Structure 1
């Protein structure tokens, strides 16, 4: 539901905005809808493909319970893209000129078609970024770095009833047990082993005594044997709560130090189970597979952007921006839920560890959503670059024309995601806040500040592609046919001939040509 609402709002808003712009330019309803699908609709298809790549990347982890999440979410995105490029233009044709407000229709009838030039705050901000790219880029980097700092203290583990709101009956029962019998009683550890003969039973008795003197152990139950006498288990109650780092350290101590010494010279092979041990093992598996997962998602996403924009710099910047957005979103989640900054005020319970499966799903979704804005912003810049060959103008016009729409879509998405915090469920609230934080940072810091600042600093290098690579890449273009023709003329010219090729293109200058 989160993903469907998020991408659905984005895709529809961008296509409708392009359609309305066509109507204001004097195009017929059919022509405006066709042009919107041929331009922004292409960006929607590419953006949806990147989201699906990020989501289906979860299949690499080979964790069966995530396969359903990956496939269901990908189907949601595919159907949303399909509706955006088929049902949406059909509905736009149905409502006709009513896609414009009454005042806009009246102005169109009285004054005729007028080009919609970027004005207001969006145009002023775009010019401001063009004048001060170094300072603004540095400010954006500092903001993202500061927000990402809590990520380094991320602790994956189990949240339990101790993290429920204080008014919940489960939390009251948890606190009563902890007060009366110690916090460890809410999450005891279970030690199980196979037993062969009397020597092993004697060793188990000695193990019982050793465990009672182990640091971090509050109590140990007597050894219990199975009906056949070949299996035995005992319960260890830690001194600390199930979700605490001390309990995780106790699990490691038992496995690496206490049990190997106690089992020396016997055939015992004691396994440590229980809530904390299970979640720690699961977290270790996730962490071990996460680099491969992130690498595959980033690699495939960059490959798709390379095919779309035929540039080396654009995919690399997109990957760096996506990593920054994910790291900062994790920092916000860590500060709020692990450190407890405001979680009680929101009715989400006390501080605790982050669920082990959360990073995987969050990385998938956040990479997908972050790539959306990159595609929409850069595709408009790319159109302008192919038309003019002027990087400063391309970045300025692209930011001025898309920033308002990107910010509007971001505000709507943030509102949708934050609404899920009202569910009162800690895990769902984590998703909602992480996605809201990532979208806010992505839209208001990265795409409207850091990305254009970097593109101004890099100049024409943004669009550089080695000639040998350009010949081997298939032509899967994100731009409309007329821009593609201009691109082919531009690519056919040598660097010395580019100015002459552009000079032959007779185009009327407007206010967008004025630097700054």
Structure 2
């Protein structure tokens, strides 16, 4: 590999414009493919095999109209007065335009819904009044019939007493038959009144169950309109969302603020914002300080931007055929920028050292590519493996995120070993400062004596690092996972305003209603369907945390009933999560009715629980990979154990910091956390995978120097300091650059991105500056020669992995620098 990279680097330096133009063509093709074939991105997440997905599949067959994506438009008066009739008419007209959009299945006019509710309530009141009048008439008729019957009975008795009954028997019998017919009519009328009373009570019961589900606020100043789409969240085309959003945004209704939920608002807009640009600028400043020249400092930035453009645009070109979440390209941008800058920096740093020592430009580019570039390929491979390993979680959207991230890292590696050498070839000696160019071939080497750490200092450093990381990790013990709701978005976004308005005017549960589906063992006859709805609705309403229940639909065959259940908590609250479990625990009702729970809140809970279950499995995979890779590279048992333990410490410290800020709200004003809540459910697993790859990068660039010094004769403890000195400058710069890029996403306009950016940034800082530069050297000092022990049988069985390209370096010695000494036996 080293020789191949050497030849590739030298070719790129000699044919610089060919390579650069080639990459620009690839960038253009990727961008064109995205514009031509790119599809829509989804703001929701689903996992096959969850209970919510099972219910959704059932609904798609039984109630297809209920399975499409839904959104909410919120209309609020700006002067805190009820919506006027004129404003209501304008809102109705706007909703009519939205209903005509191709791809919109239905739109509910809130004022029509409320009018129908009021009409139903009025009909029930009128029906009750009519029922009372009918009962009064019935009682009067019953009294008259009773009196007539008494008179007839008296006449019969008199006729019998006078012996005249036979003479008037026919007349009396006829009168009795008339009375009997009247009694029959009276009983029939009473039966009809009883049926009317039962229907009225059933209707009143349904209205009572759904009484808290309102679409116009009590003060009349806020109205909610539901927009139902034909397609599901993942299949909903972006043009449909854009057209609906444009209609809402362009609505000019005097005195009315128009907002809408994240279903419509979720786009790739905000992919790169002010915070992200600031992060890249900070990375540029670090490069400028390190390089002390403008052109060399800009090279890693330019390389990373080309890599990000190719990787992200190329990945998005497949969004039309692969379900892709809206946060997926953000991960690609974050990783592409961070590793692209760092990998280019590693190669350039090696090249600058060689040019300063007097090596020819193309020869130096090739050697830097074969040595540092070889390490870059290996380091990038560890990141790619960690990201691809997300597939083992069995969670599709997470696997897609991992694959997109892996593609972006792969492209960053390719750009680093081709595009960067091409730029270096064009720069020539200008890769050095003007002052440094004057000393080419005569570098001013300062040979400082290398002394090992003091053992007491090593013990103190190790203890302090471990204790500090463990303390920071403590909040992770109380970490809750959930997918974000509208409250986590930036306060100036329409989805945040919509969420908070609904919460304030209609209750938190209206932001995340549940859909409960009851499956009957046998078909329910039409006359019995209403009582069945009432019985089931009453059972659901009696669960703790339920605010309201409304029947939604009954299947044509009478076997499936659907209900909307509004909880008292928001979509991410513990009470809603408990309610979902309680409702599922009710099944089977009466031993035969099966209940299922769906809806976006239910789906988010299932996804979060599935992700939480996948965490230990993925952590075990990552730890196993870490140990295997480190044993192969460093040919040691203890070094991999130390490296992996350090990674685990930095990981949990990063998760603890994320929990403290985003769940507990610590330093919320500083990081823009206005509504603390559960941690983004897939943040820990993404942070785990990415941080693993980056931790292995830093371990490689630092500890490989220690191993090189050790195998060339330095005592084990002295070699620790020698390796630390040789690699800490470039690793320090790389870590600061990576933390700057990740940190720029902490202030992203997208709520799901902020905890990811913070977790990765703080994790990189912990791992680079606490684990790799303090803890690992200290523990390796305490281990001494034992750190490099490896059983002979294992040593013979393993292949020789020349990550640093030492063999290539011996074949191409730098002018004025002695070739490496032979390794100790």
Both structures adopt the same fold (TM-score exceeding 0.5) = yes
1:23 corresponding residue in structure 2: 355
Unaligned runs of 5+ in 2: 1-332, 812-818
Aligned partners of 1:60, 1:431: CA distance in 2, in Å? 21
TM-score (normalised: structure 2): 0.55
Say which SS state the counterpart of residue 438 (structure 2) adopts. helix
Say which SS state the counterpart of residue 474 (structure 1) adopts. coil
1:197 to 523, 548, 566: 523
1:264 to 570, 590, 593: 590
Deviations 1:336-361 (A, max 9, x none): 21122234544454111223223232
1:360 to 656, 664, 685: 685
- State the shift of 1:240 in Å: 1.5
1:104 to 424, 432, 436: 436
2:787 to 456, 462, 465: 462
1:143 corresponding residue in structure 2: 468
Aligned partners of 1:463, 1:38: CA distance in 2, in Å? 26
Aligned partners of 2:415, 2:499: CA distance in 1, in Å? 48
- State the shift of 1:166 in Å: 3.6
Aligned partners of 2:532, 2:822: CA distance in 1, in Å? 79
- State the shift of 1:404 in Å: 1.8
Bigger CA radius of gyration:
2
Asked if 1:215 corresponds to 2:547, the answer is no
Aligned partners of 1:239, 1:271: CA distance in 2, in Å? 19
2:443 corresponding residue in structure 1: 113
How many residues align? The count is 480
- State the shift of 1:176 in Å: 2.8
1:225 corresponding residue in structure 2: 554
Aligned partners of 2:360, 2:552: CA distance in 1, in Å? 83
1:501 corresponding residue in structure 2: none
- State the shift of 1:399 in Å: 0.8
Question: In proportion to residue count, which structure has more helix?
Answer: 1
Aligned partners of 2:755, 2:786: CA distance in 1, in Å? 39
- State the shift of 1:33 in Å: 3.2
Aligned partners of 2:670, 2:783: CA distance in 1, in Å? 45
Aligned partners of 1:141, 1:446: CA distance in 2, in Å? 9
**Structure-to-structure mapping, 1:327-406, within 5 angstroms:** 327-406=652-731
Per mean C-alpha deviation after superposition, the further-off stretch among 323-332 and 475-484 is 475-484
2:565 to 228, 232, 236: 236
Deviations 1:309-335 (A, max 9, x none): 111122222221222222111112111
2:387 to 45, 51, 55: 55
Q: Residue 461 and residue 384 in structure 1: after superposition, are their counterparts in 2 closer, same or farther (change >3 A)?
A: same
Aligned partners of 1:223, 1:78: CA distance in 2, in Å? 49
Please say if residues 208 and 223 of structure 1, whose CA atoms lie closer than 8 Å, have aligned partners that are also in contact: no
1:324 corresponding residue in structure 2: 649
Please say if residues 24 and 115 of structure 1, whose CA atoms lie closer than 8 Å, have aligned partners that are also in contact: no
Aligned partners of 1:278, 1:446: CA distance in 2, in Å? 38
Per mean C-alpha deviation after superposition, the further-off stretch among 270-279 and 297-306 is 297-306
Deviations 1:38-63 (A, max 9, x none): 43223212211111110110111232
Please say if residues 204 and 223 of structure 1, whose CA atoms lie closer than 8 Å, have aligned partners that are also in contact: no
Q: Residue 86 and residue 158 in structure 1: after superposition, are their counterparts in 2 closer, same or farther (change >3 A)?
A: closer
Please say if residues 134 and 453 of structure 1, whose CA atoms lie closer than 8 Å, have aligned partners that are also in contact: yes
Asked if 1:250 corresponds to 2:250, the answer is no
Per mean C-alpha deviation after superposition, the further-off stretch among 234-243 and 49-58 is 234-243
1:188 corresponding residue in structure 2: 513
Q: Cα RMSD over matched residues?
A: 2.7
Unaligned runs of 5+ in 1: 492-516
- State the shift of 1:118 in Å: 6.5
Say which SS state the counterpart of residue 229 (structure 1) adopts. coil
**Structure-to-structure mapping, 1:17-166, within 5 angstroms:** 17-108=349-440, 112-115=442-445, 117=447, 132-166=457-491
Please say if residues 484 and 752 of structure 2, whose CA atoms lie closer than 8 Å, have aligned partners that are also in contact: no
Q: Residue 49 and residue 165 in structure 1: after superposition, are their counterparts in 2 closer, same or farther (change >3 A)?
A: closer
1:425 corresponding residue in structure 2: 750
TM-score (normalised: structure 1): 0.86
Aligned partners of 1:73, 1:48: CA distance in 2, in Å? 11
